[in-house]
Chain A
């Protein structure tokens, strides 16, 4: 079965610093989703990447997909306290009927 490994597991950065979260799949990626979750709440959709080399940005968050490496990265520029939360990557199964998620990366931003 497919597994997604996220690194790092947790991250503490100072406000204003840049950071990167990685998501590596054990199998071929058929669409890669990034979500943000506040503790005890639902998931907020950030971005979906489908094609190798694709890169998307939303405000100060950029995600890239490297299909060959079966990997995606999420980069936050000039982090703010509002960026704090749990970042989850999810990979679509081949049938497009479900997502398999990583365990998440917990981000704390100190002011």
Chain B
């Protein structure tokens, strides 16, 4: 499968714990995006990477959230001191410049914070 992959697909954690999600984009895509989606809503933009550089961050990305893309390939999203309000689907997408802002999405990681 040459699509965008995300791991894990589901994560249940207790409030206050740290969690880390991984995204592997389509190999030739230099742009990578993280979005968050809650029930009944469309995805909300969190952050954007071009190669290894994090070029844009939403105000939704509080200081408890950090994202990296160290070698310009896979990316990780870490949430520290999770809160119940962090429960959501975390979606990763990748694209070439021709599909700027969007492109191909992964299956998502569903986070449940108890």
Contact = CB atoms under 8 A, between A and B. Distances in A.
Contacts of A95: 56
A26 B103 CA distance: 22
Nearest to A34: B102
A88 B45 CA distance: 14
Interface of A: 4, 31, 33, 35, 40-45, 48, 88, 90, 92-93, 95-104
B62 interface: no
B102 A45 contact: yes
Of A41, A88, A100, A102, which is in contact with the most chain B CB atoms at under 10 Å from its CB? A41
Interface of B: 4, 6, 33, 35, 40-45, 48, 55-56, 58, 89, 91, 93, 97, 99-108, 110
A41 B6 CA distance: 11
Contact of B108 (A35, A42, A45, A103): A42
Given A42-B91, A90-B42, A98 B105 contact: no
A43 B93 CA distance: 9
A97 B56 contact: yes
Contact of B105 (A43, A48, A104): A43
Contacts of B107: 41-42
B23 to A, nearest CB: 11
B42 A104 contact: yes
Contact of A41 (B56, B102, B108): B108
Contacts of B99: 33, 48
Contact of B102 (A90, A102, A103): A90
Contact of A93 (B4, B40, B101, B105): B101
